[in-house]
Homo-oligomer: A and B are copies of this chain.
Amino acid sequence: MIEKTNRINALFDFYEPLLTKKQMEYISLYYRDDFSLGEIAENYAVSRQAVYDNIKRTEKILEEYENKLHLYQAFIQRGQQIEALETYFAKNYPEDQKIQDMLNELEYEE
């Protein structure tokens, strides 16, 4: 469950702008803020089932976007490559602070 929560939160980070307001709110409350289905239902004055259906549908939409655009996958891959560069530079040019700064800029852009 933690693994699924982390994945949905990661996909949400990338594809949030493509969701509707309601999809965005429900999935964020459920996965990011750890509200229960019942709490969300009460808050929006809808049935628990409606919240559940909406969230399941949004999960599917997020996975479909990832299948098409691979943003999360590319982000992971780029992170690994930058980490490899950082390790290489820290070992071979430990005195060069400018390199670390440039790499940090690259890393935190997303």
Tell me the A residues contacting B by CB distance below 8 Å.
14-15, 17-18, 65, 68-69, 71, 74, 77-78, 81-82, 84-85, 88, 92-93, 96, 98-99, 102-103, 105-106, 109-110
24 contacts between A and B (CB under 8 A): A14-B69, A15-B69, A17-B69, A18-B68, A18-B69, A69-B69, A71-B71, A74-B109, A74-B110, A77-B109, A78-B106, A78-B109, A81-B102, A81-B106, A81-B109, A82-B106, A84-B102, A85-B99, A85-B102, A85-B103, A85-B106, A88-B98, A88-B102, A92-B96
Determine which of B17, B18, B93 lies in contact with A93 in the assembled complex, contact meaning CB atoms within 8 Å.
B93
Closest-CB distance, A68 to chain B (whole angstroms): 4
Closest-CB distance, A12 to chain B (whole angstroms): 13
**B-chain residues with CB within 8 Å of residue A15 when the two chains form the complex:** 69
The answer to whether A81 touches B69 (Cβ under 8 A) is: no
Chain B: which residue is nearest A84 at the CB level?
Answer: B102
